[in-house]
Structure 1
Amino acid sequence: MPITPRGLGLGVGGVLLALAGIRFGYPELVVVGATALVAIGCALTYGVWRPRLEVDRSVDPDRVGRGEGSHVVLTVRNSSRLLAASLVAEDSCGRLGADGQTVHDKVAVAVPVLRLRAGATMDVGYPVPTGRRGVIQVGPLRVTRRDPLGLLSLGRDHGGSASIWVHPRIHPLQAVPAGVSRSMDGRIDRVPHGSITFDTLREYVMGDELRHVHWRTSAKVGELMVREHLDTSLPRIVVLLDDRAESWTAPAEPDGEIAAFEGACEAAASVIAAAVREDLPVVLHTVGGRAVAGHRGSAQPQLDALAEVAPSATADESDTVDSRLANAANRLRQHRPGDTLVYLTGIGGVADLGLVGALRGAFATVVTGILGPIGPDEPQPGGAGMLFLRAEDGVEFAAEWEGVGRW
């Protein structure tokens, strides 16, 4: 509502005074009431004019690690032909929720625009807080105009918004699982993907080499079919992150952050970064059903996904906690996207480790990382053919990972 409580009170009072003056024959009351209404009319006239601003926003960089610096620069131009602009605007800054729409912990950053002449341009910058993992949305710039008496307040948004991905911290890992696939020249021979072992047939797309066309099948189906090959000389790593809220029983911090889950995200990011450094295929899966594969030599899509992920409770009351993990295990068992599985969960997920252990037949190596506070008499988890790493946070996980003698 553009009118302020002061303006509303003045308007109601002015109407009542004018009516009372007319009713009881007091011209002084009519004058006072009319003056109040004239003041509101002047405030409306003042609010009709709005500065014509053009706002461009730049973020440098838009993807950072937790705690690293990021800076927003606003370029504001007064496109009015005659009038100068002198006002204080506010740029919003907050974390996007898991739905990608709701903004949490929203704060307003003051952006002073003082004595900006017609046609002039000015740059205003401010740092973005990156102390928490997540996706930060900045903008739009909101300009609020108030009349001198504070009777009216009109707000208008200028410019769009931008997103900043705050990735988990990455801890350096030297050891990388080698898997069971071998080439004749050693563990990794850098053979390009798609040049060794036949995998399946697919439809022809522009750019495919004609020497890979399977002419007999193409004649049967009536369209070009191409042989798809896989490079089995490279080990393939799958990182499965448990994003069920029930698995992270440790109490949340005052700001709502779950330290154990943040440690699991750091562990996942560290494993993915190490695999990309060694030029190994790696894919990120969540128990909730999300799957993200990285580009050649880049982990950005997976790190973006780790910035966006958050523990979520069961959406359907008829659904059990175990069914989501069972569905994830079935997907991995059917598609077999790799030969090394790294499963990261919390203390609350220890009871479901049997579902992960059943993947031992589909994956040659199964590594389970359990993150959270370590109790004094906590029993050691066990399972045939599984390697367990117990740590409180991402730093301890990296130390436990490096302590493994051989992958």
Structure 2
Amino acid sequence: MGGRGNGGVTGRGVGLAGGAAALLAGGFRYGYPDLALLGAVALVAVVCGLVFAFWRPRLGVERAADPDRVARGEPARMTLTVRNTSRLRAANLVATDRCGGQSVPVPLLRLRPGNDTTVDYPVPTSRRGVVPIGPLRVTRGDPLGLITLARTYGGTASVWVHPRIHLLRAVPAGMARSLDGRIDKVPQGSITFDSLREYVVGDELRRVHWRSSAKVGELMVREQLDTSEPTIVVLLDDRVAAHPQGRDGVAESFESACEAAASIVAAAIREDVPVSLHLVTAVPAGPYLDVLTEAALRPGDLDATLRRMRAGRLGDTLVFLTGPGGRDDLGAVSALRGPYPVVMAGLFGDRDAAPVSAADGLIVIEAADGQEFAAAWDGVRGW
């Protein structure tokens, strides 16, 4: 089906239309029938060009990405199928498909009614992000080149280019919180009392707290919590100020930080360890890899985010990933050592600066890219 169109009369068409008007006017005014005949022929040519160009072919467009989600640098292809749904005329058109910032030619020569043609082309995956594809742009003109008209057909699709994932073999251990306030690392989970609630059908009777039930007058059940289960909290610094060495809207330090975040999330999921992803400038929504794919540098307030992280106490291991501009903020991050027993910082893109002191128990990994971060992560002994 057809979409919006644009285009119009070419320079040749404007000249021919003007010449037709002048010949007709001169022929009728001064009695030269030959001039009037030439003007009429030129006018008929312009009208025929308009009719030819404005004929709207009926095209069905289908597209499929294989795959539609891919890691940076891995291959992905788009398959485009165009069907001529007209009943009477064959399509002989010039068409291009939009793939990111590129135009891909789509041959539609002698496409007979009911027939289709398929084009398969690679999708650029050299950069992390969402690659928009489509719509199909069809340009139609008359044989004399008097009129050109472009229309769009079909919808759009997207290919999600995720950050590269590097294998992390080490995973933080759990933290057991005892009643006297101590924090110990334990290899397995431990169950401790958390709260009381009313009994509901299906609860185990061995969890009924009889003394409290007698006081309240109805059955109360103990809620228990596995306090030693490790919970990793990843905080990605997506502030513009943290990654000042960007070029053409891309900062390599931020790309490396996204790769590190994706690697941590993938390792936690593989080991069945709870993990949460947070951004400094926004509240993420959706699958974590999709969030990292869409992440972009924006203005943000790190202090407000750290206050929220402190109040929330979202886990026991905090990993802060930042760029050269976040070096001076590591002190504020290390202050979260209270609610978060283990705090780690990944610093990207600033290896030549003075080393960061690991004061207050802050673990700092300085890395040039995501692969170097993964190697250093596995070497950490401070979990």
TM-score (norm 1): 0.79
Q: Please name the residue that 2:288 is paired with.
A: 302
Q: In structure 2, how many angstroms separate the alpha carbons of the residues matched to 1:290 and 1:8?
A: 55
Q: In structure 1, how many angstroms separate the alpha carbons of the residues matched to 2:123 and 2:226?
A: 43
Residue aligned with 1:180, SS:
strand
Give the direction of change, closer, same or farther, for the CA distance of 1:54–1:201 in structure 2 (3 Å limit): farther
The percent of aligned pairs where both chains have the same amino acid is 52
Query: Which residue, out of 64, 69, 79, partners 2:70?
Result: 64
What's the CA shift for 1:38?
Answer: 2.0
What's the CA shift for 1:172?
Answer: 0.8
Contact 1:143 1:156 in 2 (8 A): yes
Q: Please name the residue that 1:5 is paired with.
A: 10
Q: Please name the residue that 2:369 is paired with.
A: 393
Query: Which residue, out of 147, 167, 186, partners 1:152?
Result: 147
Contact 2:10 2:148 in 1 (8 A): no
Query: Which residue, out of 334, 351, 357, partners 2:334?
Result: 357
Q: In structure 1, how many angstroms separate the alpha carbons of the residues matched to 2:222 and 2:26?
A: 91
What's the CA shift for 1:149?
Answer: 1.6
Give the direction of change, closer, same or farther, for the CA distance of 1:165–1:201 in structure 2 (3 Å limit): farther
Amino acid at match of 2:124: P
What's the CA shift for 1:201?
Answer: 7.7
Amino acid at match of 2:230: P
Are positions 1:130 and 2:125 aligned together? Answer: yes
Amino acid at match of 2:316: D
Contact 2:97 2:106 in 1 (8 A): yes
Q: Please name the residue that 2:305 is paired with.
A: 328
What's the CA shift for 1:364?
Answer: 0.7
Q: In structure 2, how many angstroms separate the alpha carbons of the residues matched to 1:41 and 1:168?
A: 55
Give the direction of change, closer, same or farther, for the CA distance of 1:378–1:8 in structure 2 (3 Å limit): farther
Q: 1:318-370 CA deviation, whole Å, 9 max, x = no partner?
A: xxx6xx10111122112222111100111111122232122111111110111
Q: In structure 2, how many angstroms separate the alpha carbons of the residues matched to 1:267 and 1:239?
A: 10
Query: Which residue, out of 246, 261, 271, partners 2:264?
Result: 271
Q: 1:1-49 CA deviation, whole Å, 9 max, x = no partner?
A: 4314322343344334544555566555544444333222111111232
Give the direction of change, closer, same or farther, for the CA distance of 1:398–1:146 in structure 2 (3 Å limit): same
Amino acid at match of 1:305: V
Give the direction of change, closer, same or farther, for the CA distance of 1:350–1:77 in structure 2 (3 Å limit): same
Residue aligned with 1:112, SS:
strand
| C-alpha RMSD of the superposition | 3.1
Contact 2:73 2:126 in 1 (8 A): yes
Q: 1:286-321 CA deviation, whole Å, 9 max, x = no partner?
A: 00022357xxxxxxx111111100111x3xxxxxx6
Give the direction of change, closer, same or farther, for the CA distance of 1:9–1:348 in structure 2 (3 Å limit): farther
Q: 1:231-257 CA deviation, whole Å, 9 max, x = no partner?
A: 4342111110111111112242xx542
Q: Please name the residue that 2:212 is paired with.
A: none
Counterparts in 2 of 1:187-266, with a 5 A limit?
187-188=187-188, 198=194, 211=203, 231-252=226-247, 255-266=248-259
Contact 1:289 1:328 in 2 (8 A): no
The 10-residue stretch of structure 1 (77-86 or 327-336) with the greater mean CA deviation from structure 2 = 77-86
Unaligned runs of 5+ in 1: 95-105, 203-207, 215-225, 294-300, 315-320
Are positions 1:402 and 2:371 aligned together? Answer: no
Residue aligned with 1:384, SS:
helix
The 10-residue stretch of structure 1 (346-355 or 129-138) with the greater mean CA deviation from structure 2 = 346-355
Q: Please name the residue that 1:297 is paired with.
A: none
Give the direction of change, closer, same or farther, for the CA distance of 1:84–1:57 in structure 2 (3 Å limit): same
What's the CA shift for 1:58?
Answer: 1.1
Are positions 1:380 and 2:365 aligned together? Answer: no
Q: Please name the residue that 1:78 is paired with.
A: 84
What's the CA shift for 1:138?
Answer: 0.9
Contact 1:175 1:402 in 2 (8 A): yes
Contact 2:175 2:228 in 1 (8 A): no
Contact 1:283 1:291 in 2 (8 A): no
Are positions 1:164 and 2:159 aligned together? Answer: yes
TM-score (norm 2): 0.83
Q: In structure 2, how many angstroms separate the alpha carbons of the residues matched to 1:200 and 1:19?
A: 98
Q: In structure 1, how many angstroms separate the alpha carbons of the residues matched to 2:196 and 2:94?
A: 62
What's the CA shift for 1:279?
Answer: 0.6
Number of matched pairs: 356
What's the CA shift for 1:53?
Answer: 1.2
Q: Please name the residue that 1:280 is paired with.
A: 273
Q: In structure 1, how many angstroms separate the alpha carbons of the residues matched to 2:88 and 2:188?
A: 68
Query: Which residue, out of 282, 285, 291, partners 1:289?
Result: 282
Q: 1:361-401 CA deviation, whole Å, 9 max, x = no partner?
A: 111111011100422x5243443121111111112211221
Query: Which residue, out of 12, 33, 41, partners 1:35?
Result: 41
What's the CA shift for 1:209?
Answer: 6.7
What's the CA shift for 1:121?
Answer: 2.9
Contact 1:173 1:271 in 2 (8 A): yes
Contact 2:139 2:150 in 1 (8 A): yes
Give the direction of change, closer, same or farther, for the CA distance of 1:83–1:169 in structure 2 (3 Å limit): same
Q: Please name the residue that 1:98 is paired with.
A: none
Are positions 1:55 and 2:61 aligned together? Answer: yes
Q: In structure 2, how many angstroms separate the alpha carbons of the residues matched to 1:14 and 1:47?
A: 19
Contact 1:19 1:30 in 2 (8 A): yes
Give the direction of change, closer, same or farther, for the CA distance of 1:42–1:396 in structure 2 (3 Å limit): same
